[in-house]
Structure 1
Amino acid sequence: MKLLVLGGTQYVGRAVVASALAVGWRVTVLHRGRHAAPPGVSVVFGDRTVADGLSGLAGGDWDAVVDTWSGAPVVVRDGARALAGRYAYVSSRSVYAYPAAVGAAEDAPVVDGRADDGPVVDYPRAKRGGELAVREVFGDRALLVRAGLILGPWENVGRLPWWLTRIARGGRVLAPGPPESGLQYVDVRDLADWTVAAARDGLSGPYNVVGPAGHATMRELLEACARVTGSDARLRWTDPARILAAGVEPWTQLPIWLPPGELYDSTYTADVSRAVAAGLRCRPVAETVADTWRWLRSLGGSAPQRPDRPAVGLAPEVERALLAS
């Protein structure tokens, strides 16, 4: 089969390319040339945000298209109008209206969005607008991949890389509790494998593509980081109330972690039975952590950072103050 990936040089797009090549697909990537394309693909240069930015694709023929765009929905709409074939849009569980109920499935209420929205919209509305843009063109044939938290090699958001580099430094490490708190995430490679297979099989409609709730715990994640880095880190499990009272922000200052409550329930308790029934398989957390650390070391320990996302992590002086208290 022939696959077109719009992007394909970073994180999710790169993982999709690797997955498709591994099963023998012929892959073309359209990108702006800011990053090197993966080996083994055909490359078309183009900028989707400018007039005629897709002209390099004229006359092309692909069995499936994968689009990971997170910006202005109108860009997704214009791309979908220019292309044929099966169209998979990598969306997000952020499209669900907050707070999502515990165990929310694909029929949960979603945020408002517009297919013709420009760039000045927040992330949930941008992703919902992208979904509507694809559906405007492809109708019920559109595949909407609603990913949750994504971890693994090539991460350019910084969440798991921050924990790995922090724990690699060793010493006492602030570990946010409860330690048995369940996480719900998907390894980027499992997300890519599922998306490629779903495009091949002609699946359509929305899917929550994230691992089962409680696939790993916060303890399992951080202890895996300690093992693979080989550091002398000593995890100091700290009550969530103490962390919050110190003004520390969950998710951003302490990546991946959410204290018990409404945000945790909305983020980490989704119903993923539809994606699992359609073939989603999730590798152990130890494998995700080890492979991410191996990738980080290949880069000299410094992970790439998306320019449109703020850096994450807790300042050393804030951590020291909390540990001292």
Structure 2
Amino acid sequence: MKLLILGGTRFLGRFLTETALQNGHEVTLFNRGKTEPELFPEVEKLIGDRNGDLEALRGRSWDAVIDPSGYLPWSVQESAELLTDSAGHYTFISSASVYDQLDQPDIDENHSVGKLPQERIEELKAMEPAQAIAENYGELKYLCEKEVERVFTGRSLIVRPGLIVGPFDFTDRFSYWVNRIAKGGEVLAPGRRDKEIQFIDVRDLAEWIIRMVESKVYGTYNATGPATELTMEEFLDRCKETVGDRVDIVWVEEKFLLGHEVNGWTDMPLWIPDSANMPGFLSVNIQKAMDAGLKFRPLKETILDTLKWESSRSVTEKKAGLDPAKEKAVLKDWNEKGL
């Protein structure tokens, strides 16, 4: 197949490109040429900007388009409309963040989504793109979906991943735990041991998406993992078994953490406090995707490969995870109180 990937060099896009090439497809990348432009020297690269400069895409044709880089519906609209007669299939990578009313688990593809009034959309259009995305990420992703479905009626695949993890993950949310367990010592673990969490290895997601494109599958699919329920305790124990032989995991109650200004998700990645009443966010129903062939590699492999990649990074400022000094102080207070 002739595939056009909008992006194609950063995290999921990187592995989509890699998998497509491994499967023997002819790949064209369209991006600004700013993120690791040296990657994939064997593929055709078109330089442009989906926010206003699509000239390089005109007059071309592909069997399918994969869009892992769309965040603003007005830019997704522009690219989709330009490509509607140039490709037979359009895959849009959305997000499980489109869902609202997260007070119940087992959210499937028919669950309600967050929507924006027109006046708010106009306000977002006037903002810098990064600010608009940060303020209404999920709602904008849903509007992107609707643009793709409108333009590629009956010819679109919408993928709603949860947390994507593995090598080259720039968010630091999964890798924080892998690195912290590997470092050893007393490790602060948040809240309930049996709290369910979800994530998917970027390579599993990319391989499944390429298979779906090859089969020209249409529709909307949640795509996260694992196949069966995983608790925070099971995850940390697996990290300990894999990379941390000198670790003492200390479970600290939610009320105590919040009282010490330890935040969920940023300080303690993968943890959403029970008080937020969002059990649906990390317990999404993925049966439809598994029925369509979504499979998962062993968690141990994801842990080891993430740690190996992390050891090669030169980044000193992490985007997520508890500051070591703050962790030490909270643990000291917790231990002193004998809780």
Instruction: Give the TM-score normalised by the residue count of structure 1.
Output: 0.89
**Matching of residues 41-120 of structure 1 within 5 Å:** 41-50=43-52, 53-83=53-83, 84-99=87-102, 101-113=104-116, 118=125, 119=129, 120=132
Equivalents in 1 of 2:227, 2:242: separation in Å? 24
SS in 2 for 1:103: coil
Aligned-pair CA distance for 1:227 = 4.5
Amino acid at match of 1:184: Q
Stretches of structure 2 that go unaligned for 5 or more consecutive residues are 334-339
Which of 118, 134, 140 is 2:154 aligned to?
A: 140
Contact preservation (8 Å) 1:221, 1:289: no
Instruction: Give the TM-score normalised by the residue count of structure 2.
Output: 0.86
| CA distance 1:36–1:275, shift in 2 (3 Å) | same
SS in 2 for 1:298: coil
Equivalents in 1 of 2:211, 2:103: separation in Å? 28
Report what 1:243 is aligned to.
257
Segment of structure 1 superposing worse, 182-191 or 94-103: 94-103
| CA distance 1:224–1:298, shift in 2 (3 Å) | farther
**Matching of residues 1-325 of structure 1 within 5 Å:** 1-37=1-37, 38-39=39-40, 40-50=42-52, 53-83=53-83, 84-99=87-102, 101-113=104-116, 118=125, 119=129, 120=132, 122-212=136-226, 214-230=228-244, 232-260=246-274, 263-300=277-314, 302=315, 311-325=319-333
SS in 2 for 1:174: strand
| CA distance 1:25–1:60, shift in 2 (3 Å) | same
Contact preservation (8 Å) 1:176, 1:238: yes
Segment of structure 1 superposing worse, 88-97 or 210-219: 210-219
Equivalents in 2 of 1:172, 1:221: separation in Å? 16
Instruction: Indicate the RMSD between aligned Cα atoms, in angstroms.
Output: 2.3
SS in 2 for 1:87: strand
Question: Residues 187-209 of structure 1: CA distance to partner in whole angstroms, max 9, x if unpaired?
Answer: 11111111111111111121111
Q: Look at both structures and tell me which one has the larger radius of gyration over its CA atoms.
A: 2
Equivalents in 2 of 1:67, 1:31: separation in Å? 11
Equivalents in 2 of 1:177, 1:100: separation in Å? 18
Aligned-pair CA distance for 1:49 = 1.2
Contact preservation (8 Å) 1:158, 1:303: no
SS in 1 for 2:262: coil
Stretches of structure 1 that go unaligned for 5 or more consecutive residues are 306-310
Q: Percent identity?
A: 37
SS in 1 for 2:304: helix
Question: Residues 114-145 of structure 1: CA distance to partner in whole angstroms, max 9, x if unpaired?
Answer: 79963435101110111011112112321110
Equivalents in 2 of 1:65, 1:27: separation in Å? 10
Aligned-pair CA distance for 1:161 = 2.1
Equivalents in 1 of 2:320, 2:308: separation in Å? 21
Contact preservation (8 Å) 1:183, 1:214: no
Segment of structure 1 superposing worse, 313-322 or 143-152: 313-322
SS in 2 for 1:254: coil
Contact preservation (8 Å) 1:12, 1:188: yes
Aligned-pair CA distance for 1:213 = 6.8
SS in 1 for 2:20: helix
Contact preservation (8 Å) 1:32, 1:45: yes
Question: Residues 40-76 of structure 1: CA distance to partner in whole angstroms, max 9, x if unpaired?
Answer: 42211111112xx221122322111111124321111
Aligned-pair CA distance for 1:304 = 9.3
